[in-house]
Every structure is written in C-alpha cells, then in structure tokens.
Structure 1
C-alpha cells in the first residue's frame, strides 16, 4: 500500500508586530522623527522670535538643513558600504543629540547666534544623510526578504505620523515652554533612537572586504550610479521618483499661498488641512504590505502612481466653502500614494542590489531624487508668478500623475512580483 504525501504550502510570512528587533528599530525611529518634526517648527521660531532673524537668514537656515543631501550623499554611500551600519547610525544619532542640545544651552547662557543655528542645521543634515543611507541598508539585516515590503511600509508611516503628531506637539510645547526648551525634545529623541539600536539582538553581517587595494573614491561612487542606470527597471524608478518630486514640490511650494489667498482659509484652518493631507500617508503606509500582496509586489509600483496620482487633479478644483474638500481629498490621496510607492520601490531596490553595493546605490538614488526638490520649489515660484497659482497647480497635478508612465512603460508592466537577482547581475 502506498501513501501520498500531503501537499506542501509555503509558510506564511511572520507578522512584524511580533518581530522584537524590528519593533525596537521602528519605535526608536518613530520617536526620532517626531522629535525632528518638533524642531522643524521650534528652530525657525527661535530664529524669528528670539534672534529677530531676517527672511534671508531664515532661508539660509532651511538651506543648511538640506545642503548635505546634495554635497555629501554620494561619498556617504561609499562610507556606509565600508562600515557596520548600526554602529554608524548610533554615532549619527548621538552627534545629532549633542548638536541639538547646544541650542537651549546657548540660549540660557545668552550666547545663541544665527551662526550657531546654521552650524547645527548643517551638522544635523550631514548626520541625517549618513543615517538614512545606513538605515535603508541595515533593514535587510533585521527582517527577512519577504518582510521587507511590509517593513518599509511601516517605516513610511513613521514620517506621516511624525508630521501630524510632531508639528501639533511642537506648537503646544512652544506655547507652554518656549521654543528653546522645546528643542530639548528633539535632542532627547535622538538619544532614545540610539539606545533602541543598541537593544537590537540580531547580529549584523560582516562587512565584505574586497581582495586587493580598494578602488578610488570616484570609482566607488560611480559604481552605485552605474548600477542604477544600467538596470532596466531601476533607471525607470529613478526617473519616476525624480519627476514625482519635482511636480509635488511645485504643489507644496504654492500650498500655503493657495490655501490662504485663493481658498481664504485662516491659519488654524491651514494647519488642519496640512495635517489631514499628511494623514493619508499613515493609512497608505499601514496598508502597503497588504496591497502589494494582493496586487503584486512589482505591479504595485506603477499601480500606486497611476491609480492614485489622478487624485491630485482635485487640488486645483478646490474653491472657498465646502469645495475646500477637493484639496483635502487630493492631498490625502497623494500622501497615500507616496507611502505605498516608496515602500514598494525601496523594497525592490533592497532586493535587486547586491548587499555590498546597496549603500552606494541608495546614496546615488537619493542624490538624484532629493536634488529634484529645490528644482521643483523654484519652478513652482516661477510658474506661479507667471501663469497664476491655480494654473500652475493644474500643470503640477498632471506631472505627478504622469510620473507613473516611466514605470508603466518598463519591464514592471509585465511582472506581478519581483524576486531577487543573483548577486552581481544588473
């Protein structure tokens, strides 16, 4: 008598809610992002209300906080690939904690200056670049490959939660304690994030050491960019992300003017609209893993852009009164789009790239994609002045929606799910 073995089924992917190391990492990063959102409000308020800074000085403060993404992102990728990621992340968090902590100390000593605020913003910007590149490279060492998309979705939610909770919390804290004391929250959040990293139990893989002498810095930097541009899918994802960032920044650059001067909202109503729009990212981030499993881990990349991008066309249709809801729905849909799309495309990049090249690839992609942000902001100001605010928003909304065509007309259109490629292939 013969017996037939029962059919085997693939084991279900373990829930990240019960993954101790990931939850530790996620909790620490959520607190850190929330603290940073508090400082996003508190530090400019210190410059304006305490130091009586000029408009140009405050704009330099904003520029100092973004400059490192253009200046050091590419070499940061090389350095990240050469180091233990967790050790580097802990160091960056401690430096940011100390730097932010100097602001209230100098304030109470009566020695605070704009030069110090610029220096702190620039130093924190450099540390943020290194931390974020290392963070994306470290995640595959914490969770399984089939958990990456869900993990990136939850991490995308962190930013949206931080913006909603952090800015609201920051406003309340500034009103009660003053802007300088409120900055202590951000310094403490970086310290907590550093501790959370030290509590992760799973060991990090050894850093690969190449045989023979190391290539020159320029050659190592170009290796990450070359991998992205040679890959038939990654280069389309970079183009889509850059296009998305340019046109979305046009909308963000004009949002406050549009809400106040065209839709006739009060400052309190503007704050509510911005918070409601960001809340869409929370829902999108939490649902991204489930949607990707249903739609397909590869297919969701272009479906998210084309399937939700059209909602941005509602933004320029808003009018004073009840039709302000068009703006709310459009921006909520866009926030959900960004959370779902980013979780999927980052997971794709993490699985397609050899681990020893991931830092350089991540830094190269971020250099291009984040470099698009100031271009979009300037473009928004120019077009808004030349054509008008509403007309410019129509163009920007079409640009956001059309960004999905880059990935639709790529090999992704014929794929449902993606699987890791053998190391070294592109």
Structure 2
C-alpha cells in the first residue's frame, strides 16, 4: 500500500499536466464501469436467458469481431484526423449501446440477439477508442514521460480490475445484471465529459507526402511496418498465440465457475477482485522493473510467468478452488500488466508520430483478431469434450508461447536506446521502401 501511495502521490511533471489528468480521470471512471459489464453481460446470458456454453462464448466473440473488421481502417483514419473528437464520439456510442440492455430488460424484451448486437456495437466503438487513445497519449505527454503515464493509467485500470468484479458481484446479487450494465453506460458518459474538458490544441498528424493516398495504401503501409519490424514482429507473434489460448480458457471460464465449480456471482466477483491485486502490483512496479532489469528480460520473464499461470484453473477442485483461482489471477494479472506497460511504452517510443495510429491498429488487428477464434475454439471444444479438459489443452499450449520472445532480438534489449539503435536502420529503409512503392 505504501508503494501505491508513493506512485499516486501528487509529485512529478504529470501531476501538473491538466490535460493528462482529464484523460486519466475519464479512463479511471470508465474502467471501473467496464469491469462491471465484463461480469454482468455474460451473466445476463447465463442467468436470465439460460444461454449454453457455446452461446456465452459466441457473445465474447461478437465483441472482438470488430477488431478484425475495423482495426486497420481505424488506424488509418486516426492518422488522418484529430484524435480527441474520436474519443468523445466513441464514449458516447458505447454509452448508448449499453443503455439499451437495461431498457430492454425493463420492457421484458431482452434476447440473446440483442446482446450480440450490443456486444458488436460496443466492440466497434472500443476499437476506434483504443486505437485513438494510445495514439493520442504521446501528444499529451513527452516521449520520456510515456512509461510513467502508461504506468499511472495501468495503476487505476488495475485498481478497477481489483475492485470492479467484487462491486459487480454485489450489484448483480443485490439488484440485477442489467442494472449493473446501466452503471457502465453512465461511466462512459463521464469519460466523454472529461475528454471534452481537455484544452490542449491538437493539430492534424503530420504525414509524409508519399503517405497521402488511398486508405487501402495507408493501411498496407502500417501493416507492413509492424509485421516486418525487428522488435514488434516477435512481440506480435507471442501476444497473438497467447491471446488465442487465453481466450479459449476464459470464453468458458464463467460457465465452468457457475456450473462445474458451483460458484455464485458474488463469489466469482470476489475471486476476480482478489486475483486482480496482481494487476495492481504489476502496474505499480512495471516501469521500475523495466529500468532495473532491462526491457527485454522483463518482458520475457513476465510472458513466461503469465503463460504458466493458466494451469491453476483446471487444477481447481475441492477446497483448493478459491486459492488456485485467486493464485492464477494474481500471477496472470501481474505478468500481463508488467508486459503491457513495458512493451507498449517501448512501441510508442520507437514509432514515428505519423505512424502511431496505424502501428496501434495493426498490432491490435492481429493480436485481438485471434481472440474470437480462440473463443469459438474454446466454446466448441468445451461443449464437445468438457470444460476442464479444454482448459488443460489450452494451458499446455500457452505455456510454450514465451519461447517466441526468447528466440528474438528482444532478449538483448535493455533500454530504449538499445531498441532505437536496432530499429534505426529499419525505420530509414522502411521510409525509402514506402516512398518507392508509392511512386
């Protein structure tokens, strides 16, 4: 707790950056709300609509399909437009979409079809928001402040993950899942108001003359930049593989917890909150670990620990159910946040501003695009051979994913300077290649 207080205590440049504080405040509120919906929406399907394991997995799928459909064009749009207005529209869109769930419930008209539509709409606006958000942050803070800024954002996101599931379980038990979703809709409105309050004038992103062309060409440039990048390519492969197997497990996790382990909504929420203490701890120490032990080694170590933590979920039985599920959440949460803070900050620091939108979009297109496939695979396999058996298979495969990082140049990178030295020539060659391709 002392480290958390030190991390959040008003000191340093960012605490005097009003615009960053507005973005941070809005994100904090909406993150708490989103944690509620993360539990409430599938529980609406399970408890109110008696959905099957496959239907619940499919609900998760439709939330991620937009990442396949819209990530790449969203990145190109973000590199053409001012990013703050995009964030505001995306927040309003998510608020309206979620508000239809409690409305339909009160009118006794709620169906699985509507949940699928809401999941898709909210997912589409989330794609636009996330790509814009990670591209907008470097315009509010200096490049050398990005690790601290990302760390602060992760601290409050992790705090939301810690308190959110428990609060969601209480709200759902005391009132109803649709009422809990209404709270999330309100949180997105609050986020929109905070982003609206940002005063800093935003100019259009600078673009090379060779980049001014058709949207399809700009998308292709961004995708090539990431796929051929000596640092981002192995990261892309690792996260894609891990996300596939993580999603196979967690697409059926709630069904497994409710029907196999006989856990209540409140207990599931408490387990999630306790496990999420790991994400909070990871957010507090992530940037320090990167500085002290080196960017590459920390990312590889975090990846390995997170992959192995999945084994605790199918191991859970008898009196060890809660301890093992909490342990899995603690290790996975800590590892994932450390990996994300260190890895995303590195990507932002070594990417030219004109490429930020497409870099973020291309990365998300691939690493989030595999999630629906993992969810469908988990749902189908869980229905065919059993939930626990499916989790064992996914955990075993996931435990090997970190080897893609271990075999890459990332192992030798300790500082941003090391990374810039490695990618400097690549960036120059890529610019020349893109120019000749456009000509």
TM-score (norm 1): 0.83
How far is the alpha carbon of 1:82 from its aligned partner? 0.6
The change in CA–CA distance for 1:410 and 1:40 in structure 2 (over 3 A counts) is closer
Does the Cα contact within 8 Å between 1:300 and 1:341 map onto a contact in 2?
Answer: yes
Does the Cα contact within 8 Å between 1:153 and 1:289 map onto a contact in 2?
Answer: yes
Matching residue within 213, 221, 229 for 1:231: 229
Matching residue within 342, 358, 361 for 1:360: 358
Deviations 1:211-231 (A, max 9, x none): 378322221111111011211
Q: Secondary structure at the match of 1:128?
A: helix
Distance in 2 of aligned mates of 1:323 and 1:100: 33
Does the Cα contact within 8 Å between 1:233 and 1:407 map onto a contact in 2?
Answer: no
Deviates more, 1:259-268 or 1:142-151: 259-268
Would you say 1:336 and 2:334 are equivalent positions? yes
Greater C-alpha radius of gyration: 1
Tell me which residue corresponds to 1:5: none
Deviations 1:179-237 (A, max 9, x none): 44444322221121112112234433432244378322221111111011211111000
How far is the alpha carbon of 1:46 from its aligned partner? 5.6
Deviates more, 1:406-415 or 1:373-382: 373-382
The change in CA–CA distance for 1:126 and 1:249 in structure 2 (over 3 A counts) is closer
Matching residue within 349, 358, 365 for 2:347: 349
Distance in 2 of aligned mates of 1:42 and 1:406: 35
Q: Secondary structure at the match of 1:371?
A: coil
1:186-225 mapped onto 2 (5 Å cutoff):
186-211=184-209, 214-225=212-223
How far is the alpha carbon of 1:87 from its aligned partner? 1.5
Matching residue within 245, 248, 259 for 1:247: 245
Tell me which residue corresponds to 1:408: 406
Aligned residues: 413
Deviates more, 1:129-138 or 1:146-155: 146-155
Tell me which residue corresponds to 2:4: none
Does the Cα contact within 8 Å between 1:263 and 1:324 map onto a contact in 2?
Answer: no
Deviates more, 1:145-154 or 1:68-77: 145-154
How far is the alpha carbon of 1:246 from its aligned partner? 1.6
Does the Cα contact within 8 Å between 1:69 and 1:367 map onto a contact in 2?
Answer: yes
Segments of 5+ residues of structure 2 without an aligned counterpart are: 1-10, 431-439
Distance in 2 of aligned mates of 1:102 and 1:323: 36
1:9-408 mapped onto 2 (5 Å cutoff):
14=12, 16-43=14-41, 52=49, 55=52, 61-104=59-102, 117-211=115-209, 214-256=212-254, 259=257, 268-307=266-305, 309-322=307-320, 325-381=323-379, 392-408=390-406
Segments of 5+ residues of structure 1 without an aligned counterpart are: 1-12
Deviates more, 1:114-123 or 1:28-37: 114-123
Tell me which residue corresponds to 2:437: none
Deviates more, 1:248-257 or 1:104-113: 104-113
Distance in 1 of aligned mates of 2:339 and 2:18: 26
Distance in 2 of aligned mates of 1:183 and 1:247: 27
TM-score (norm 2): 0.81
Q: Secondary structure at the match of 1:39?
A: helix
Does the Cα contact within 8 Å between 2:63 and 2:122 map onto a contact in 1?
Answer: yes
Deviations 1:389-416 (A, max 9, x none): 5555444334333222212211121221
Does the Cα contact within 8 Å between 2:251 and 2:378 map onto a contact in 1?
Answer: yes
Q: Secondary structure at the match of 1:321?
A: helix
Distance in 1 of aligned mates of 2:281 and 2:319: 26
Does the Cα contact within 8 Å between 2:238 and 2:405 map onto a contact in 1?
Answer: yes
Distance in 2 of aligned mates of 1:264 and 1:110: 28
Distance in 2 of aligned mates of 1:263 and 1:171: 17
Distance in 1 of aligned mates of 2:351 and 2:28: 26
Deviates more, 1:309-318 or 1:359-368: 309-318
How far is the alpha carbon of 1:338 from its aligned partner? 0.6
Q: Secondary structure at the match of 1:225?
A: helix
